[in-house]
Structure 1
Amino acid sequence: MEQAPRWMTRMERALDRLSGLCILVASVALVILVATFGWLVFGRYVLNATPTWVEQLALLLVAYIAYLGAAAGIHEQTHLGVTLFRDALGPKVSGALRLVNDVILSVFGLVMFLASIELFKFGWGTLLPMLDIPESFRTLSALLCGGLVFLFAGLRAVFRVTCMVQGVRYQDKGEI
């Protein structure tokens, strides 16, 4: 059986790096989250002065952790899914269902991206309490997630169609 086109292999490597960057940023945000809560506990019980900004920063960081982690999960195909019936239907039907799934995810990502642009613009004039930064920094995480989901799932759909046309088997992440 033939191999996937060279451009596809290069593009998949670039997407792997982008997904890795998402995981790195989410991981750093998680470390900052833990450190700020350590500061909260220290401030509250040792200094007897609770830092009020920690809660707002925590909400901001959790949004980035969740959204960037979700986008990376779409790329890595590690999201929870029930695949019993899809896999039992044979390779052709299973491949078609995988393509339909990628198209649906891509459309969802695009809608999320476009809706988040509106939220981003709307929130620019409002400041987050205690942090004094625009509310748009919180919605930026949803905007990035939508764009990344669109990119990851959409390109995977393009890869699947390209492989179908060329008679090459597309190998999903995690497949042996």
Structure 2
Amino acid sequence: MTEQIHRWLDAVYLACIWISGMAILLMSLIIPWGIFARYVLGAGSSWPEPLAVLLMVIFTFFGAAATYRAGGHIAVEMLTNMLPTQARYLCEKLVDLLMIAICLFVMIWGGKLSMEMMRQGLAELPWLAVGVTYLPLPIGSFLTLLFVLENTFFGSQKDRAVVTYDHESSQPLNEAL
């Protein structure tokens, strides 16, 4: 059962990395177009800036989830490393509880904000509801919560290789971090 959980969370982790990577790639294409349209064509487009902001929010929240699982988040360990083992363990569990609380807070209130704003359109992109632009908050927080719970119950995954599987044979294809 534990292996299945890790396999499923490996897939979620890789999806977070791909979504974040695609968001930053698209953003790096959209911003130059906005600059080109304004300064070369002399007619600024209204859509590049709000779309780039949306992509940055997607990059931030999905990237934060992946970074948490990879152990790349900001962690000031100077003080906790000087503590005895039992006190260090208690600090780690306190951090886990605080992370769970923060994830739940952002999931709940970000979800409410997103649902409230679904009736409002974005001026620059009338086809896009403002609530959609807030969806990365609860979704990214939910994904982070999954990784926090994994860390809480199974320990840190930062040193474990992520294994991708062939869907037909369920055999490992490769191992990568």
Shorter-chain TM band: 0.7 to 0.9
Alpha carbons of structure 1 residues 12 and 97: separation in structure 2 relative to 1, 3 Å = farther
**8 A Cα contact 1:22 1:69, kept in partner:** yes
Please name the residue that 2:158 is paired with: 173
Aligned-pair distance for 1:172?
5.0
CA distance in 1, matches of 2:123, 2:14: 31
Q: What TM-score comes out, normalization by structure 2 length?
A: 0.81
Tell me, which stretches of 5 or more residues in structure 1 are unaligned? 1-6, 160-169
Q: What TM-score comes out, normalization by structure 1 length?
A: 0.81
Q: Percent identity?
A: 23
Asked whether 1:151 is paired with 2:146, we answer: yes
Cα-to-partner distance string for 1:65-119 (whole Å, 9 max, x where unaligned): 1111111122222111111222232433323322221121012101110111111
C-alpha RMSD of matched pairs (Å):
1.8
Quick one: higher RCO (CA 8 Å, sep 6+), 1 or 2? 1
**8 A Cα contact 1:27 1:65, kept in partner:** yes
Aligned length: 159
**8 A Cα contact 1:60 1:138, kept in partner:** yes
Match of 2:10 among 16, 21, 29: 16
Asked whether 1:128 is paired with 2:122, we answer: yes
Farther-moved stretch of structure 1 (81-90 vs 135-144): 81-90
Farther-moved stretch of structure 1 (97-106 vs 138-147): 97-106
CA distance in 2, matches of 1:81, 1:27: 23
Structure (1 or 2) with the greater strand fraction = 2
